[in-house]
Structure 1
């Protein structure tokens, strides 16, 4: 392992199988990507919710790869103007700096954040600074050696002069399988996850969660992904509450992807707790 993952990605392989590409969370979602002749990428997103609201965004991104510079400008249906400026391997080797700003014209509210990512062999550390709120700072780091990774995270409120959050994680990562144990929420929420690539077609993952403040009950979730052919796959998952999720993803043609999903409450089959959703993605 040349560079370990970021702290939030220690259990990424399991999290992707358990959470990614399940489309029932929104009744309908649409994403359109296109690239202009000047290499500016435009992305339009829209999604409805089961509560009846609709949200969307328009994003333009310019990348100057030789100089490690990218600029992203976004505008959402919440009338939020978001800007991100990234410098990757520009200031120093292995260092990526991000400046994020937000402006809400309706309320005149403003936001500004500075993020730093530093990667070297066997170490990955990040620092996040909220420049206007607090201000606050958070730092995480991960050390890795021969597949074994260990990391910690902490947040500090400058105005309160107090540590507001801390977490720790330990894991093992390989191409075929990985496992991780995380203690978050000031070491009160414990999560154990496992990922296994059974073969080129089948992936499986499981996650157990215990909140020491909430009682002795342990939450459990398992999921599997099966690649039907090079252009399609199916997924299914179930948790300890009997919520079943299924999904199907297919590449209809180059640049056009369809996703279908549904969730069912197996313990309350007669109640209106079921959800369905669909997603279209166009790339050109």
Structure 2
């Protein structure tokens, strides 16, 4: 179903272009497989600094129900249950991360052609409540979200945004952090496939009188290979190369360099995701 999407979708295109797949600090290997019965298994190893962690996850999908569970070497367990279309155009998501028994959340989403609503409630004695909604049509969406702490009786957040999406570009403006931060972004697609793209993001923090300007680009070298780069006004340069080694199996090489402190050692990351 097409529609304005959730409030979290406002500005998401620019955010993904500037942050997604930049494995600057880690070396990661993940292997996943799936069966026709709806069962998928994933295992991953991550090396960060001198430490290695491992996790194993499983996913089971049956009709409109999805169950996702993961356990890692630090004895953390996460589980998510997603049920779609309990009522028309709705989705319910329940999640928890153990051993933190207070981490349980219940989210209900309603998506329609011209509006969306989402509510999130933490499952503990003093729940946090978050509500968000968007309205829109013909590529224009207006949205807002608010968070409320029932234990203290104060608003934890209130944000608002506008998003404009056309085949050639996407533009968004978000007022967040209780009005302290204004973020504006523009994504410009250079071809019909939207694989060659430029992006500009401007972040203004009023309380500290600071501006952050980030420019980025994505370019497809061939159908299996893309390169991405980003640079902000503080001199942080990031880049990555992503190549589909075999169908659905992706190799990502990324790095980050502080151009204003060239004496510092650049950071590199490597990720390999295998899907037989």
TM-score band (shorter)?
Answer: over 0.9
Q: Which runs of structure 2 are paired with 1:92-103 in the superposition (5 Å)? A: 92-103=87-98
CA displacement, residues 134-173 of structure 1 (integer Å, 9 cap, x when unaligned): 2111011111111111100100111222222111101211
Deviations 1:236-272 (CA, angstroms, capped at 9, x unpaired)? 1111111111110111112432111111111111223
Cross-structure match for 2:57: 59
The one of 39, 61, 78 equivalent to 1:82 is: 78
Counterpart mapping for 1:213-232 below 5 A? 213-215=207-209, 217-232=210-225
Provide Cα deviations, 1:66-101, integer angstroms capped at 9, x if missing partner: xx1111111123312221111101x20111001112
1:14 is paired with a residue whose SS is helix
Corresponding residue of 1:212:
206
Note the residue ranges of structure 1 that are not aligned, 5 or more in a row.
Answer: none
Aligned residues: 274
Q: Point out where structure 2 has 5 or more consecutive residues left out of the alignment.
A: none
Secondary structure of 2:96's partner? strand
What SS is found at the alignment partner of 2:3? coil
- Checking the alignment, whether the CA contact within 8 Å between 1:18 and 1:206 is kept in structure 2 is no
Instruction: Tell me, in whole angstroms, the C-alpha distance in 1 between the residues paired with 2:206 and 2:84.
Output: 40
User: Scaled by the length of structure 2, what TM-score is found?
Assistant: 0.94
In structure 2, the residue corresponding to 1:21 is in which secondary structure? coil
Aligned equivalents of 1:140 and 1:101: distance in 2?
21
| Conserved? CA contact 1:168–1:182, under 8 Å | yes
Greater shift, 247-256 or 122-131, is seen at: 247-256
Bigger Cα displacement from structure 2, 188-197 vs 252-261 = 252-261
What is the CA RMSD across the aligned residues, in angstroms?
1.7
In 2, Cα distance between the equivalents of 1:133 and 1:5? 31
Gap change, CA 1:9 and 1:55, over 3 Å in 2? farther
Cα pair 2:164 2:170 within 8 Å, conserved:
yes
